[in-house]
Amino acid sequence: MRNLAFALLLLPAIGMAADLEVGLTIKDHRFVPAELKVPAGKKVKLVVNNLDSTPEEFESHQLNREKVIAGNAKATIYIGPLSPGKYAFWGEFHEKTARGVIVAE
């Protein structure tokens, strides 16, 4: 009976699990890679690793996401499922250099 109760508690977490985990790095106030390809129609767990000592913000109006990543820290951002297309993102603190695009195909 305890196992059943435990399993039922895990169901919401399982339901939120992403189909795929992809990594994105912030280094020298730039997103690497600047173009990130993901499968269309899949939920994606985006793990952003900020290697800079200063914070940066991952922002995208198209993805409806905004998250500050502290310097020398990681953050997780869930996106999708996405329709095929290109979705721009940028870093609000270094907008001229921290730019990228997610391509869903």
Q: Is residue 6 part of a domain?
A: no
Give residue 68's identity as a one-letter amino acid code: V
Instruction: Tell me the whole-structure pTM to 2 decimals.
Output: 0.81
CATH code of 44's domain: 2.60.40.420
Contact 98, 55 (CB under 8 A): no
Domain total in the chain? 1
Q: Is residue 53 part of a domain?
A: yes
Express each pLDDT in 25-79 by its tens digit.
Answer: 999 999 999 999 999 999 999 999 999 999 999 999 999 999 999 999 999 999 9
Q: How far is CA 43 from the centre of its chain?
A: 10
Q: Work out the pLDDT band at 8, boundaries 50, 70, 90.
A: low
Classify each residue of 18-50 as buried b or exposed e, where b means 16 or more C-beta atoms within 10 Å of its C-beta.
Answer: beeebebebeeebbeeeebebbeeebbbbebeb
11 backbone dihedrals φ, ψ, rounded to 5°: -55, -45
43: containing domain? 19-104
Q: Is residue 13 part of a domain?
A: no
Q: Is residue 33 part of a domain?
A: yes
Q: Is residue 37 part of a domain?
A: yes
Q: Is residue 8 part of a domain?
A: no
H-run or E-run covering 73: strand 73-79
